[in-house]
Amino acid sequence: MSAHRTINYLKASGVLVMAVYGFFCAFDAAEAGFLDRVDLVIHEAGHLFFSWFGEVAQVLGGTIAQLFLPAALIAYFSLRREFFASSAMLFWTGQNLLNISVYVKDAQTMDLPLVAVAGGEDVIHDWNYILSRIGLLRWDGALGNAVFALGVIVMMAAVAWGSYSSVNRGDEERLSLRPS
């Protein structure tokens, strides 16, 4: 039995946007994009949330939050069988990894401007703190490059998944929970 396939052009357009935006993010990860402000808010909220669990957790909390929120949304949309939305959240995860890679690579030089949630207090460079504690500070460039590469791979996987999800297959109606 052959399934009839058609392209959902709205989803396909979304894949094109992801691919183009991903290219520009990867071309210059240090250049702020339109998702970076959202990422920053989530990152800082992660510091606040994890502050309940001690200093190390608080410092790691920003990065954890940046990765946890889109990962949780991937799971949510996947459970609902909304795979195109899942692919968009996977793309966001990859974009966050690019964002994080810039921060990791800055661990030794600490040139990036830092944000203090509560004004006036001393600000800790997350990745300088983390890599110093585990004795890997001198490897910040290599680790940042690895995080960057992982981000690019994740974004490419998201574009591929989104492309696959942009094709409507005739057999999907049989799998639907809607009554016929």
Sequence-separated (6 or more) residues with CB below 8 Å from residue 166: 7, 8, 11, 12, 14, 15, 84
The per-residue pLDDT for 171 is 54
Beta-bridge partner residues of 7: 167
pTM of the model: 0.87
Higher local confidence (pLDDT), 167 or 153: 153
The per-residue pLDDT for 137 is 94
62-72: average pLDDT: 97
DSSP for 18-42 reads HHHHHHHHHHTTTS--TTHHHHHHH
pLDDT band of residue 177 (cuts 50, 70, 90) is: very low
pLDDT band of residue 175 (cuts 50, 70, 90) is: very low
Measured distance CA(92)–CA(71) in Å, rounded: 9
Beta-bridge partner residues of 169: 5
What are the CA-CA distances from residue 71 to residues 85, 117, 154 (Å)?
12, 24, 12
Q: Say whether pLDDT at 173 is over 80.
A: no
Closest CA to 163 of 13, 3, 5: 13
Q: Say whether pLDDT at 58 is over 60.
A: yes
pLDDT band of residue 117 (cuts 50, 70, 90) is: low
147-175: average pLDDT: 85
Q: What is the pLDDT of residues 10-37, one digit of tens each?
A: 999 999 999 999 999 999 988 878 888 8
What does the block give as tokens for 168? 């409507």
Closest CA to 177 of 80, 85, 87: 80
What does the block give as tokens for 130? 């983390």
81-91: average pLDDT: 96
Question: Over the chain, what is the mean pLDDT?
Answer: 89
DSSP for 68-123 reads HHHHHHHHHHHHTT-HHHHHHHHHHHHHHHHHHHHHHHTTTT--S----SSTTS--
DSSP SS3 for 153: helix
The per-residue pLDDT for 31 is 83
Higher local confidence (pLDDT), 100 or 3: 100
| Residue 8 CA neighbour count, 13 Å, CB half | 14
The per-residue pLDDT for 124 is 85
Ramachandran quadrant class, 81 (left: phi over 0; alpha: psi -120 to 50; beta: rest): left
57-63: average pLDDT: 94
pLDDT band of residue 174 (cuts 50, 70, 90) is: very low
